[in-house]
Amino acid sequence: MARWDEILTLPVQNPPTLEFSAADIMWSRVEGWRDSMDRLALIPFSRVNDFVRGESNNKECPTRFHVEARRRRPPTMSCKPKVDGILEYILYWCSFGPDDYRKGGSVRPSRNYSDKRRKTPAGRPQTKRGCICHFIVKRLIAEPSVALVIYNHNKHVDKKGKPCHGPMDKMAIGTKAMFAPYISDELRLQVMSLLCVGIPVETIMQRHTEMVEKQGGPSNRDDLLTHRYVRRLERKIRRSVYELHDDDDVSINIWVENHQDYIFLYEDFSDTDTFVVGIQTDWQLQQMIQYGNRSLLASDSKFGTNKLKYPVHSLLVFDKQKNAIPVAWIVTPNFAHGETYRWMGALYDRVRAKDPTWQLGGFIIDDPLTDVRTIREVFQCPVLISLWRIRHAWHKNLMNKCPDIEKRPVMAKRLGEVICNICRGNGGMELFVAFLEDFIGCAGFLDYFRALWFPRLGWSMSFSFITHI
């Protein structure tokens, strides 16, 4: 069989775990260049990052893989229709290589900084130990949703075939090369959030050093957090600017271009539609898969409605301790029906691409105007309404629309009782009808209640209320 026929008929492997490594995949051997045999496999392109993470968290030899080379075919370039045409080529290399800065090691001439042409060499030459472990990812024109992974060197060894980092390397014992280079994403995010709330670099480092001393010295990569690194993060945060251009349109475009990995949907202003930006980091996607599966997803549509130019719609999941974790943000000037469908479908597809078995248990909304039908259609799950939000909205409107100060608490109490009774199964819509009749004098609030809530309370009750969200 011809090489490409053989490759394109391989199964696309999609392990159900959040991240996976080479050990979780069946590798095929296909004849490559110069009679060598390539180890290769097909995985969904959307899961390349999960594979890179899984390979980095190798238990026997923790490391990190960086992009050593990347080529993309410009979208405008016309291409001859050929079977092995590629849209993208990415070479991932273990961050302990490919150069070798150890004594007697070889360094590519382009990376040799001994002539002091540059003051600071790019990357971290001191961590390079000549590791040859690397793999290639190709995105084929024939199957753009699939990544072809070619893994020729899967052992963390140097050119001589000896372990050059990690616990198997005798020379690395007691040094940083025992552990993966760079700190973990978790610690980086933690440090970033401490800096964002204004904790000084010195305090963060002091606490960190105390903690490491207490446990008797460094025992993993995160213990090796340096002052310099924290200071660099702090500088990055201080210098970051979110208004990248006076024109919002251009500003959003630049931001989206620089944060491609976090964007699950972007539609620019058009003649008929406003813009929609859906933001979700890889970490957020993982949380959504882990805590949203057969569980709840809550929508908070009220953030920034008074303060920000464009409101931010957040989606939340809840961990075992019931902490709310934001798992996606949607920014758009208004949340009319069309917009909801646009971002919800894209988000659902993104999650299902990672985990085809993922299924939501329920979707909690906080706004009676939410497009319930779209949610049901996309997520195929019951929709619930946050009782706390309903009562909050009613309270606010009683204050605004009912001039009779003495009546306000009576009405609020009555509405509370109605909800309680309905939740306990002691009644239905007739309780609201009675409420409307009893307080007929308060026209302002009743008009609001009748217009906004009454038509929706029927469905609210059919899918139950939720308290304390």
Chain contacts with Zn ion (rule: CB under 5 A): 63, 94, 96, 131, 133, 156
Please provide the size of the chain in residues.
Answer: 469
Nearest approach, Cβ of 111 to Zn ion (angstroms)? 17
Query: Most distant CA pair in the chain: distance in Å?
Result: 92
Cα separation, 95 vs 110, in Å, equals 17
Nearest approach, Cβ of 97 to Zn ion (angstroms)? 6
Nearest approach, Cβ of 300 to Zn ion (angstroms)? 43
- When the beta carbons of 100 and 371 are compared against Zn ion, the nearer one is 100
Tokens 């552990």 belong to which residue? 179
Contacts of 246 (CB under 8 A, 6+ apart): none
- When the beta carbons of 180 and 317 are compared against Zn ion, the nearer one is 180
Give yes or no for a contact between 37 and 30, defined as CB atoms under 8 angstroms apart: yes
- When the beta carbons of 94 and 387 are compared against Zn ion, the nearer one is 94
- When the beta carbons of 146 and 178 are compared against Zn ion, the nearer one is 178
Which candidate, 208, 217, 221, places its Cα nearest to that of 178? Answer: 221
Q: How far is CA 236 from CA 65, 186, 187, 221, 305, in A?
A: 23, 18, 16, 22, 28
- When the beta carbons of 100 and 366 are compared against Zn ion, the nearer one is 100
Nearest approach, Cβ of 105 to Zn ion (angstroms)? 14
Burial class (CB in 10 A: 0-12, 13-18, 19+), 388: middle
Nearest approach, Cβ of 165 to Zn ion (angstroms)? 6
Nearest approach, Cβ of 155 to Zn ion (angstroms)? 8
- When the beta carbons of 139 and 156 are compared against Zn ion, the nearer one is 156
- When the beta carbons of 92 and 275 are compared against Zn ion, the nearer one is 92
Tokens 């996976």 belong to which residue? 20
- When the beta carbons of 96 and 262 are compared against Zn ion, the nearer one is 96
Q: How far is CA 241 from CA 198, 235, 251, 255, in A?
A: 17, 12, 11, 10
Cα separation, 164 vs 160, in Å, equals 10
What are the residue ranges of helices labelled H in 177-224? Answer: 185-196, 201-214
- When the beta carbons of 153 and 302 are compared against Zn ion, the nearer one is 153
Nearest approach, Cβ of 282 to Zn ion (angstroms)? 22
DSSP assignment letter at 144: T
Cα separation, 92 vs 405, in Å, equals 68
DSSP assignment letter at 12: B
Cα separation, 84 vs 347, in Å, equals 31
Q: Where does 211-295 show beta strands of DSSP type E?
A: 263-267, 276-279
Q: In what order do the strands lie in the sheet with 296-300?
A: 263-267, 276-279, 324-331, 312-318, 296-300, 362-365, 383-386, 465-466
- When the beta carbons of 181 and 278 are compared against Zn ion, the nearer one is 181
Nearest approach, Cβ of 110 to Zn ion (angstroms)? 21
Nearest approach, Cβ of 456 to Zn ion (angstroms)? 58
Give yes or no for a contact between 394 and 415, defined as CB atoms under 8 angstroms apart: yes
- When the beta carbons of 181 and 292 are compared against Zn ion, the nearer one is 181
- The number of beta carbons lying within 10 Å of the beta carbon of residue 322 is 7
Which candidate, 349, 354, 279, places its Cα nearest to that of 47? Answer: 354
DSSP assignment letter at 32: -
Nearest approach, Cβ of 164 to Zn ion (angstroms)? 7
Nearest approach, Cβ of 125 to Zn ion (angstroms)? 15
Looking at the DSSP bridge assignments, the partners of residue 298 are 316, 364
